[in-house]
Amino acid sequence: MMDIAFYILSAIAIWSGWRVFRVDSMIRATFALMVSFICVGGIALLMSADYIGIATVFMMAVEMMVMGLFMVMFMMNPAGLNPMQMVHQYRLSIGAGIVAFIGLTVAVLATDLPHNPLPADRDTMRDLGINLLGGSMLIFETAGVTLLATMLGAVILSSRRGRFGNSDVGAVPPGLQPGGTPAGRKVEAGGGHGGHGGHGGHDMKIVKTPEHEDMGHTHHEMAEEKPAVSDAEPMDQRDHAVGHKQGAKAAEPLKPEHDHSPDPHKDHGNTPKKEP
Partner 1 sequence: MSFAIALIEMLTFMIFGVFLAAVLDAFFYRRIAGRSGVSLLMPLYAAAAHLSRQRLTTEAPDRLNWFLSISGFLALGAIGLAVVPFGPQTAVIGMETSVVLWGACESLVVVLVFLHGWSPNSPLALIGAYRYVAIGLPIMLLSMFVLIAVALPAESLDLRAIVISQEGLWNVIRQPLGLPLFLLLGLSLTLRGPLDYGDSADLAGGTSIEDSGANRAGWQVARLAMLVGFSAVAASAFLGGYLGPVLPGIVWLALKTLTVMAVIIAMGHLLARMPVARMLGLIWKVLLPIAFLDLLLAGLVALP
Task: Choose the binding region for partner 1 from 55-63, 86-94, 222-230, 266-274 (rule: CB under 8 A).
Answer: 55-63
Q: How far apart are CA 235 and CA 250, in angstroms?
A: 7
Q: How far apart are CA 64 and CA 40, in angstroms?
A: 15
The DSSP element (H or E) to which 127 belongs, if any, is helix 124-133
SS3 category, 165: strand
- Is residue 222 part of the contact set for partner 1 (CB under 8 A)? no
Q: How far apart are CA 237 and CA 246, in angstroms?
A: 14
Q: What angle do CA 201, 205, 208 make, to 5 degrees?
A: 105
- Is residue 62 part of the contact set for partner 1 (CB under 8 A)? yes
Nearer to partner 1, 111 or 237 (CB): 237
Nearer to partner 1, 30 or 261 (CB): 30
| CA-based nearest residue to 176, from 129, 227, 137 | 227
Nearer to partner 1, 191 or 256 (CB): 191
Measured between its terminal Cα atoms, the distance across the chain in Å is 32
Contact 252, 171 (CB under 8 A): no
| CA-based nearest residue to 233, from 252, 247, 216 | 252
Q: Binding pattern to partner 1, positions 18-47, x when CB under 8 A?
A: ---------xx--x--x-------------
Q: Binding pattern to partner 1, positions 226-265, x when CB under 8 A?
A: ---------------xx--x--------------------
Which residues, numbered 120-149, are part of the site for partner 1 (CB under 8 A)?
123, 125
Task: Choose the binding region for partner 1 from 107-115, 178-186, 209-217, 227-235 (rule: CB under 8 A).
Answer: 209-217
Please identify which residue in 64, 84, 86, 187 interacts with partner 1, judged by CB under 8 A.
64
Interacting residues toward partner 1 by CB under 8 A: 27-28, 31, 34, 50-51, 54-55, 57-58, 61-62, 64-66, 69, 79-81, 123, 125, 193-195, 197-198, 214-217, 219-220, 241-242, 245
